[in-house]
Structure 1
Amino acid sequence: MTHVAIAVPTFRRPDQLRTLLTSLAAQMDAPPMTIVIADNDRQRSEGVATAEAMAAAGYIHAIDAFVVETPGLCHARNALVDHALAVRGVTHVAMLDDDQWVAPDWLARLLASHRAYGADMTGAPVRYQFDGPPPHWNDALFVFQAERRDDGPTDMLFSLTSAIADRALWDSTPAPWFDTRLNQIGGEDLDLYTRWAAAGRRFGWTNTTEVFESVPADRTSLRWAWRRVWRVGNTDTIVAWNRAGAARRGVLVLRTLAMTGAALLLWPLSALSTQRRLTATGRVIRQFGRIAGLTGHGFKEYGG
């Protein structure tokens, strides 16, 4: 019998967590599920309080909410997997973030596609929702663009959220599943997927359902977007460097320098179009993040 553990890390977002839990309670044609919540705030623990209040009010699904004392996203995710695998009878683990909510058919359709593809893990798109109009740079940069790819088997996934995996995939991966060296800089999902891909694990993708994610006003400034673009390039390179041998590291250095040179050479050609200029500038900034990654410097986006 199918039983899904929904794993959610949370940090000081009680209202958004409540929205997510409400959307999970409204799932149609879904199998039994247990919601596993790791609250990474030992001082206020608002996530645990929210989950306990909803459970006391008769929440439809079982909830396992607990505090992770050690700060850091990787510590929270590792604790989530540990608790999810301890759920009696669990067959699958799905990941969501506390600022997301799901379509009513999310789990049923995600599971159906996962089974049809015979994948070890299957993902679906995340649609970003703004409080007001999207920022003027949104079409030019990838930051808040839903991932686009065809339905079916795929070579790689890039995000844990809106993805479901067989329990066996986690069982066959030695703990800790998430590299704590990436605790404050991110990229822990890409690192894990890179290891799984190297081990021959199979990924799938479906556009039949979706997850929604709230974008707060403080993330709609161009300055914030440039910082995120830089961080993505940075963590991509750090993950690749950590998993590469000496020869591959040499190739990574040469490739990064060549791509940076190309981005700088093409940058002036975008001057006549605002959208092209934004895209080209983002490409350059991402490459500078990659170069910083080669030196071992990481931006601590999750340092708080």
Structure 2
Amino acid sequence: MNQQNTFPRAPASTDRQVPAPLNIAVGVLTYRRLDGIAKLLDVMTRQTQHPARPYHLTMVIVDNDAAGSARATVEGFGQTGAYNLIYVVEPNQGIPFARNRAMDSAPADTDLFCFLDDDEWPVDGWLDAMLETRGKNRADCVYGPVQPVYPDNPPEYFIKAKVFERKKNKDGQRISYAASNNVMFDYPLIRSWNLRFEEKMRFTGGTDYLFFNQAIRRGMQVFWADKALVHDIVPASRMTWKWVLQRQYRLGNTFAVSDVLHGNLKRRLYRAAYGASRVILGLAMLPAIVISPYWGMRALTHVLRGAGMVNGILGHAYQEYKPNAAL
């Protein structure tokens, strides 16, 4: 049985000199990562507010473990007074199920919805930086940087190759993509479009890519908030050649799977041709791997993402998040 607990936030004082506060919900999915969710909830008690950008905050924690293993950890933050806290169990395993449950569990009067991961934590001014960028640009959606935090003695090659570093943009720049690891969007707008995370891609990953791509095609305007920094833990288990190469293949594959499910024939043909061209380009660049970690990894990225795209169009959906997934 699905379970939901709500813990009230301490009432805010009234002040006629400030704008009406926005209602913000932050959705976080978790699965047996108790230290991560505890750290995130603790950090979120310290979010700062600018007088010109007040808000009421609700944390929506979706436990994707049917046993509710995170309940005790989450409930320990229920009386901090820093935010409302909603804890809900989503027994159907799979990221899109949990993401949809997070949005469905937000309070009805939510103005803005955010997603963070349970292995991340934001800077203390994260939410205010998001709101500042939103206000300056009249943004429907705001996306921010994610900075990797490495374990002790990480493999030097991967650091030099910048494998785990994500693309950055100028502050306030309009961009054509977003993901669920550091994002804020107009909740009523998304609900009016009836947009959902694609549950057919239960274990493939990439449902956030598809979700925001669909929103942008409908007219959603996304802007970059450079000060809304989030830190992301990179576990040692991911700093292996096997994981890195499979991840690059999966990223390309999910683009293609998205086109198979929601694209037309023209889009699928384009994706296949684009994937094939990336394979060719990557093979031509591959000798760089012996002299430059960065350009060598770029070559491997082209080859593997391109191969993932071609195979995805041909019908192969790589299940990265399914137990014992393999190419």
Residue range with higher mean Cα deviation, 250-259 or 193-202: 250-259
Unmatched runs of 5 consecutive residues or more in structure 1: none
One-letter amino acid of the structure 1 residue matched with residue 248 of structure 2: V
For residue 77 of structure 2, the aligned residue among 29, 44, 54 is 54
Residue 70 (str. 1) matches residue 92 (str. 2): yes
Unmatched runs of 5 consecutive residues or more in structure 2: 1-20
CA contact (8 A) 1:141 1:282 kept: no
Residue 208 (str. 1) matches residue 224 (str. 2): no
User: How is 1:1-304 mapped onto 2 (pairs within 5 angstroms)?
Assistant: 1-29=21-49, 31-43=55-67, 45-55=68-78, 58=80, 60-84=82-106, 87-139=107-159, 141=161, 143-175=163-195, 177-268=196-287, 270-304=289-323
CA contact (8 A) 1:122 1:165 kept: yes
Residue range with higher mean Cα deviation, 64-73 or 257-266: 257-266
CA distance in 2, matches of 1:274, 1:202: 35
CA distance in 1, matches of 2:122, 2:40: 7
CA distance in 1, matches of 2:233, 2:58: 23
CA distance in 1, matches of 2:161, 2:76: 40
The structural deviation recorded for 1:52 is 1.2
CA distance in 1, matches of 2:109, 2:194: 20
The structural deviation recorded for 1:62 is 1.2
CA distance in 1, matches of 2:161, 2:257: 22
Please provide the CA RMSD for this pair: 1.9
Closer, same or farther: CA 20–92 of 1 in aligned 2, 3 Å: same
CA distance in 1, matches of 2:278, 2:108: 49
Closer, same or farther: CA 188–274 of 1 in aligned 2, 3 Å: closer
Equivalent residue, structure 1, for 2:9 = none
CA contact (8 A) 2:31 2:63 kept: yes
The structural deviation recorded for 1:90 is 1.8
One-letter amino acid of the structure 1 residue matched with residue 235 of structure 2: P
The structural deviation recorded for 1:88 is 4.7
The structural deviation recorded for 1:201 is 1.2
What is the SS of the residue equivalent to 1:128?
A: strand
Identity %: 26
The structural deviation recorded for 1:254 is 2.3
CA distance in 2, matches of 1:63, 1:273: 48
Query: How high is the TM-score relative to the length of structure 2?
Result: 0.85
Closer, same or farther: CA 274–28 of 1 in aligned 2, 3 Å: closer
What is the SS of the residue equivalent to 1:190?
A: helix
